[in-house]
């Protein structure tokens, strides 16, 4: 849980502050140049916005990274949760912040390439700078062991409309299943829950037939035999669940992954972005961080901003065309 | 049952930090219990922001301590000053103060402390065994069951709580309406947000609780002039005599069971169970005329029951994520702020939190027993603190506190608005409890209902085809129809006997 993170955050913040003070005491900023961004981060703290609740995977990732970045840059790095609208609220706040690198956000790919399919007001990634990619999170289609379903064919042969739990409207959980069931020609109703944990509980209790959940959240139950994995929605079999076929292997071309990246406000100076990128690179190298990824079934995806922008934009285009092809309506799916 | 997590829970409680916060919790609980006006719900609401910086287990241990600690504290002023510190100690006034006038204040306080301790302990033991059972069962709780449970919960809160039933229902409806503000979870559409980003995610629970209970109560209490009541200087023989103990042992036993059961019930809780226990004791007694004139059972029963209920009301919260009463709703808010997923999987997912909190209650009760007997005089002295000093400090803490939760000035505005609302409600005789609880349960009710209908493919009658939701809805209908049927019956009876009806008028 989040328990230790707060404590640790304060500890690192404290350590960072001490470091900053001692650096300042050593004789001011080197060069004292006038060009903005040259003395980044100075002794100002950095805030990382998170558009999800404390304790969720995005939040945990942000907190894990904040620690490493703070150590590297020598200033306190705090995580601020601004949950709402799948992260759109936090993105909106980020857009209004000064482009000085002191306010960042862990941006979820789903907000960039899925939410716009459900809601036209979704933010556009063209309005932000991208510091670096972080990691990929796979979705897995799970069911209760006594449901009698173990393959997509079983679902198609159910002889009745099936129900599927999603972690919310406009999420990868919803899109992955909508696409799969549309392609497999399965009559299915989406039941949105409020996040991964309630969805998991609903599948465990057989309240819905199946549900698509992020791998890290379901892995423990799958390994314990409390849940059966039908397919994963990854491009290739994730190493954490190598004996379960992907939807692509099962004959349905619908890779949907949750990708995360660090965003900064538009027009943040290049020097600042560069400084931030190298600080994050150091944080990625940390053993604790890598163990964290392993534990939460996250696949590292530490590519640069341009690559993220390219992938996410093409994802959006691709999903938009499939969704139109099959007549899927993510928003008003009642 | 696997006892390893239970034992691990003790390890959690015995960490020095947790012990310290448990002590702080029960002491604060005792204090607010002694102070009339500021109740446990208000105190917990005001202290919510403070809990953000500390770990969830520690925070909830402290807040729980405030809740059951207040049940001990409320007794003291009831007995000594005829001034109930808590609603749940109102009935203790009848016999407790009568005993005090006979010079047996020590006996009354001693019996109350011992009864509270036993009631609390019995309830924790039962909670230890029952909660995992309920949690195991809880996977069967799908959207339809939550719909029925939320509906029943709101209804019970509105009808069972004291005061006017109509006003409670009105307050609950306002709570339900407030719960609809914000983005529609199913379509993403905005409701009652007026384009305001602060409202896009709906109203936050914390400022509402802090406003209604914290600020509202403070404002309301400022109006009441508390004449500094002179407490008796000395309290002799705190330990009850053997015959007193023998006389009240039955009452303590019955109070434990009754309190435990009523505490689980939505809308039940400490106040209701103390009233019920008093009624039971009076009815069972061979000499009911002693009640009101210093019957020891009249103190033992309700005091045991309110403590047992304070403990058992954690069961629905920690296992199903349904707060049974207003105080639990505030603790629910604390868990949400901490990012803890309350629900069926809490026992398995976060055993440290679950058992840490449950087991802290053993320690807390022992601390309270130790404190309440020798330190009575000290706590009574607290009453001399004038409201003119206490109120501004509390208001300041509330406003600064709420800002720190989300760093949002809008939240401060919300606290003030809901503080005024809470004040006006109290003045007009509305209990803010049903409003808050309906607000909490409102989104659960709506979301679960819509999910159920999606699962049932729109068939509303399917609610009755599932055993748990069917039973809950049957109980719901019974509770709704009972007053109607009863009044119809009395009307018919009074029509047959016109003389009686005149008496009734």
- The token duo for A298 is 């996250």
Contacts of A92 in chain B (CB under 8 A): 197
Contacts of A91 in chain B (CB under 8 A): none
Together in a domain, A224 and A280: no
**Domain containing residue A294:** 3-136+259-318
Q: pLDDT at residue B178 above 80?
A: yes
The CATH number for A224's domain is 3.40.190.10
Q: pLDDT at residue B503 above 50?
A: no
Together in a domain, A117 and A151: no
The pairing of strands A210-214 and A46-50 is unpaired
The CATH number for A123's domain is 3.40.190.150
Contacts of B455 in chain A (CB under 8 A): 163, 189, 191, 207-208
Q: pLDDT at residue A129 above 90?
A: yes
Together in a domain, A118 and A91: yes
Q: What is the pLDDT of residues B46-89, one digit of tens each?
A: 888 888 778 889 999 999 999 888 888 888 878 887 777 777 88
- The token duo for B163 is 């005061």
Q: B292 or A192, which is more confident?
A: A192
Contacts of A56 in chain B (CB under 8 A): 339
- Listed by start position, the domains of chain B span 4-465, 467-505
Q: Inform me whether the C-beta atom of residue B348 falls under 8 Å from chain A C-beta atoms.
A: no
| Of the partner residues B141, B186, B197, the one whose CB lies closest to the CB of residue A192 | B186
- In this prediction, residue B502 has a pLDDT band, given cuts at 50, 70 and 90, of very low
Q: pLDDT at residue B379 above 80?
A: no
Q: pLDDT at residue B397 above 70?
A: yes
Cα distance between residue B100 and residue A173, in whole Å: 65
Helix (H) or strand (E) holding A261: strand A257-265
Together in a domain, A265 and A301: yes
Q: How many CB atoms lie within 10 A of CB A97?
A: 17
Closest CA to B26 of B415, B375, B416, B350: B375
Q: Which pLDDT belongs to residue A17?
A: 44
Residue A47, in any domain of the structure: yes
Give how far Cα A279 sits from Cα of A265, A284, B175, B487, Å. Answer: 18, 9, 48, 74
CB B486 within 8 A of CB B178: no
Mean pLDDT in residue range B117-124: 90
Q: Inform me whether the C-beta atom of residue B274 falls under 8 Å from chain A C-beta atoms.
A: no
A143 - beta bridge partners? Answer: A210, A228
Q: Inform me whether the C-beta atom of residue B442 falls under 8 Å from chain A C-beta atoms.
A: no
Mean per-residue pLDDT of chain B:
83
Residue A331, in any domain of the structure: no
Q: Inform me whether the C-beta atom of residue B459 falls under 8 Å from chain A C-beta atoms.
A: no
Together in a domain, A274 and A214: no
Query: Is B187 in Cβ contact with A334 (below 8 Å)?
Result: yes
- The token duo for B7 is 């034992």
Contacts of A207 in chain B (CB under 8 A): 142-143, 455
Q: pLDDT at residue B297 above 50?
A: yes
- The token duo for B129 is 């065994």
- In this prediction, residue B237 has a pLDDT band, given cuts at 50, 70 and 90, of low
Q: Which pLDDT belongs to residue B232?
A: 56
A to B CB pairs, distance under 8 Å: 94
CB B440 within 8 A of CB B329: yes
Residue A230, in any domain of the structure: yes
Together in a domain, A74 and A196: no
| B56, B184, B186, B188: best to mutate for the A interface, most A CBs within 10 A | B188
Together in a domain, A305 and A186: no
Q: Which pLDDT belongs to residue B235?
A: 61
- Tell me the three-class secondary structure of B335-358, residue by residue: HHHCCCCCCCCHHHHCHHHHHHHH
Query: Is B340 in Cβ contact with A85 (below 8 Å)?
Result: no
Block residue for tokens 């993403």: B188
| DSSP output for A214-238 | EHHHHHHHHHTTSSEEEEE-SSS--
Contacts of B200 in chain A (CB under 8 A): 84-85, 89
CB B379 within 8 A of CB B32: no
Q: How far A26 CA lies from chain B's nearest CA (Å)?
A: 32
Q: Inform me whether the C-beta atom of residue B350 falls under 8 Å from chain A C-beta atoms.
A: yes
Q: Which pLDDT belongs to residue A30?
A: 39
A61 - beta bridge partners? Answer: none
Residues on chain A bordering chain B, Cβ-to-Cβ distance under 8 angstroms: 1-4, 6-7, 10, 53-56, 59, 80, 83-85, 89, 92, 118-119, 161, 163, 168-170, 189-194, 197-198, 200-202, 204-208, 331-334
Mean pLDDT in residue range B107-131: 88
Q: Which residue of B lies nearest to A6 if distances are taken between CA atoms?
A: B53
| DSSP output for A291-304 | HHHHHTTEEE---B
Together in a domain, A44 and A128: yes
Q: Which pLDDT belongs to residue A113?
A: 92
The pairing of strands A162-166 and A188-192 is parallel
Q: Which pLDDT belongs to residue B234?
A: 57
Q: Which pLDDT belongs to residue B395?
A: 87
Contacts of B53 in chain A (CB under 8 A): 6, 10
Q: Which pLDDT belongs to residue B37?
A: 66
Together in a domain, A50 and A153: no
- The token duo for B57 is 């287990």
Cα distance between residue B274 and residue A5, in whole Å: 42
Indicate the number of domains in chain A.
2
The C-alpha torsion from A209 through B319 and B316 to B17, rounded to 10°, is: -150
Q: Which pLDDT belongs to residue B228?
A: 52
Q: How many CB atoms lie within 10 A of CB A61?
A: 25
The reply to whether the predicted model has a pTM over 0.80 is no
ipTM reported for the complex surpasses 0.90: no
Contacts of B197 in chain A (CB under 8 A): 89, 92
- Tell me the three-class secondary structure of A33-58, residue by residue: CCCCCCCCCCCCCEEEEECCCCCCHH
Q: Inform me whether the C-beta atom of residue B195 falls under 8 Å from chain A C-beta atoms.
A: no
Q: Which residues of B362-389 are buried (b: 16+ CB within 10 A; e: fewer)?
A: bbbbebbbebbbeebeebbebbeeebee
Q: pLDDT at residue A27 above 60?
A: no
Cα distance between residue B105 and residue B232, in whole Å: 9
Q: What is the pLDDT of residues B101-116, one digit of tens each?
A: 888 888 888 888 889 8
SS3 A214: strand
Cα distance between residue A54 and residue A319, in whole Å: 29
Together in a domain, A236 and A265: no
Q: Which residue of A lies nearest to B407 if distances are taken between CA atoms?
A: A80
Q: Which pLDDT belongs to residue A181?
A: 93
Q: pLDDT at residue A50 above 80?
A: yes
Q: A3 or B204, which is more confident?
A: B204
Q: How many CB atoms lie within 10 A of CB A90?
A: 28
Q: Which pLDDT belongs to residue A24?
A: 42
Query: Is A89 in Cβ contact with B345 (below 8 Å)?
Result: no
Block residue for tokens 């015995």: B14
CB A60 within 8 A of CB A5: yes
Q: What is the pLDDT of residues B333-374, one digit of tens each?
A: 888 777 787 777 788 778 888 889 888 988 998 888 888 777
CB A94 within 8 A of CB A312: no
All residues at 6 or more sequence positions from A192 whose CB lies less than 8 Å from its CB, including other chains: A165, A166, A167, A168, A169, A174, B185, B186, B451
Q: Which pLDDT belongs to residue A1?
A: 39
- In this prediction, residue A102 has a pLDDT band, given cuts at 50, 70 and 90, of very high
Q: Which of residues 290-319 of B touch A (CB under 8 A)?
A: none
Mean pLDDT in residue range A80-95: 82
Q: pLDDT at residue B452 above 90?
A: yes
Together in a domain, A16 and A90: yes
Q: pLDDT at residue B501 above 50?
A: no
- The token duo for B366 is 């022992």
| Of the partner residues B53, B340, B343, the one whose CB lies closest to the CB of residue A201 | B343
In A82-199, which ranges are E strands?
Answer: 103-108, 128-143, 162-166, 188-192
Cα distance between residue A96 and residue A115, in whole Å: 20
Q: pLDDT at residue A8 above 70?
A: no
Report the percentage of chain B scoring pLDDT > 90. Answer: 16
Farthest-apart Cα atoms in chain A, separation: 76
**Residue A78 per-residue DSSP state:** E
Report the percentage of chain A scoring pLDDT > 90. Answer: 46
Residue A115, in any domain of the structure: yes
Q: Inform me whether the C-beta atom of residue B21 falls under 8 Å from chain A C-beta atoms.
A: no
Q: pLDDT at residue B139 above 70?
A: yes
Q: B119 or B404, which is more confident?
A: B119
Together in a domain, A248 and A99: no
Contacts of A333 in chain B (CB under 8 A): 186
């Amino acid at each position: 849980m989040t328990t230790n993170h707060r404590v640790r955050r304060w500890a690192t913040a404290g350590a960072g502050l001490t470091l900053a003070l001692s650096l300042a005491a050593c004789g001011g900023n080197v060069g004292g140049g006038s060009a903005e961004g040259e003395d980044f981060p100075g002794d100002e703290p950095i805030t990382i916005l998170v558009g999800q609740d404390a304790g969720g995977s995005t939040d945990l990732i942000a907190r894990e990274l904040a620690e490493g970045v703070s150590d590297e840059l020598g200033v306190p790095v705090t995580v601020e949760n601004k949950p709402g609208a799948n992260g759109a609220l936090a993105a909106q706040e980020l857009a209004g912040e000064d482009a000085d690198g002191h306010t960042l956000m862990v941006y979820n790919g789903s907000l960039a390439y899925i939410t716009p399919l459900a809601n036209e007001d979704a933010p556009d990634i063209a309005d932000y700078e991208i510091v670096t990619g972080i990691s990929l999170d796979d979705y897995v289609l799970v069911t209760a062991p006594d449901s009698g379903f173990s393959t997509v064919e079983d679902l198609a042969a159910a002889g009745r409309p099936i129900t599927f739990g999603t972690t919310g409207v406009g999420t990868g959980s919803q899109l992955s299943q909508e696409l799969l069931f549309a392609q497999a020609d399965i009559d299915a109703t989406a039941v949105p829950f409020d996040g991964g944990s309630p969805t998991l509980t609903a599948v465990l209790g057989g309240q819905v037939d199946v549900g698509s959940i992020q791998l890290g959240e379901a892995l423990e139950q799958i390994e314990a035999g409390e849940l059966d994995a039908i397919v994963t929605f990854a491009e290739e079999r994730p190493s954490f669940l190598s004996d379960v076929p992907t939807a692509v292997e099962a004959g349905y071309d619908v890779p949907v992954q949750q990708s995360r990246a660090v965003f900064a406000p538009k027009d943040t100076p290049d020097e600042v972005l560069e400084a931030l990128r190298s600080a994050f690179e150091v944080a990625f190298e940390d053993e604790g961080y890598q163990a964290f990824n392993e534990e939460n079934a996250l696949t590292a995806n530490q590519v640069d901003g341009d690559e993220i922008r390219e992938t996410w934009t093409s994802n959006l285009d691709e999903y938009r065309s499939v969704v139109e092809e099959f007549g899927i309506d993510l928003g008003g799916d009642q | 049952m696997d006892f390893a997590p239970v034992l691990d829970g003790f390890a959690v409680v015995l960490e020095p930090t947790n012990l310290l916060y448990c002590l702080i919790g029960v002491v604060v609980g005792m204090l607010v219990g002694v102070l009339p006006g500021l109740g446990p719900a208000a105190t917990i609401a005001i202290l919510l922001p403070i809990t953000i910086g500390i770990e969830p287990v520690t925070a909830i241990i402290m807040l729980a301590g405030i809740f059951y600690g207040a049940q001990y504290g409320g007794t003291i002023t009831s007995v000594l000053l005829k001034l109930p510190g808590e609603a749940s100690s109102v009935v203790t006034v009848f016999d407790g103060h009568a005993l005090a006038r006979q010079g047996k204040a020590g006996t009354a306080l001693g019996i109350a402390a011992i009864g509270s301790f036993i009631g609390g302990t019995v309830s924790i033991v039962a909670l230890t065994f029952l909660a995992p059972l309920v949690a195991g069962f809880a996977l069967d709780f799908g959207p339809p069951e939550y719909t029925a449970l939320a509906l029943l919960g709101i209804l019970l809160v509105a009808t069972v709580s004291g005061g006017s039933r109509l006003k409670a229902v009105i307050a609950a409806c306002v709570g339900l309406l407030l719960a609809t503000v914000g983005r529609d979870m199913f379509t993403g559409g905005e409701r009652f947000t007026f384009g305001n980003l602060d409202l896009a995610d709906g109203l936050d629970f914390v400022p509402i609780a802090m406003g209604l209970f914290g600020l509202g109560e403070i404002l309301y209490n400022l109006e009441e002039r508390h004449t500094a009541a002179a407490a008796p200087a000395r309290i002799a023989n705190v330990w009850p005599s053997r015959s007193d103990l023998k006389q009240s042992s039955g009452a303590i036993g019955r109070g434990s069971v009754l309190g435990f059961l009523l505490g689980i019930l939505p809308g039940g809780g400490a106040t209701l169970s103390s009233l019920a226990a008093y009624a039971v004791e009076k009815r069972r007694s061979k000499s009911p005329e002693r009640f009101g004139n210093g019957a020891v059972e009249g103190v033992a029963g309700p005091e045991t029951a309110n403590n047992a209920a304070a403990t058992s009301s954690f069961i629905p919260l920690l296992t199903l994520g349904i707060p049974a009463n207003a105080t639990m709703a505030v603790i629910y808010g604390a868990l949400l702020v901490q990012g803890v997923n309350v629900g069926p999987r809490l026992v398995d997912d976060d055993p440290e939190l679950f058992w840490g909190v449950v087991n802290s209650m053993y320690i807390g009760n022992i601390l309270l027993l130790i404190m309440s007997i020798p330190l009575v005089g000290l706590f009574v002295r607290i009453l001399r603190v004038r409201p003119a000093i206490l109120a501004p400090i509390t208001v300041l803490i509330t406003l600064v506190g709420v800002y720190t939760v989300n760093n949002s000035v809008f939240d401060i505005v919300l606290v003030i608005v809901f503080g005024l609302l809470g004040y006006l409600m109290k003045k007009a005789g509305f209990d803010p409890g049903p409003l808050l609880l309906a607000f909490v349960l409102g989104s659960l009710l709506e979301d679960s209902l819509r999910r159920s209908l999606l699962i049932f493919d729109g068939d509303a009658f399917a609610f009755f085809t599932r055993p748990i939701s069917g039973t809950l809805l049957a109980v719901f209908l019974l509770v709704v129809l009972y007053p109607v049927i009863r009044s119809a019956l009395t009307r018919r009876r009074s029509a047959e006997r016109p003389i009686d009806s005149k008496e009734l008028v």
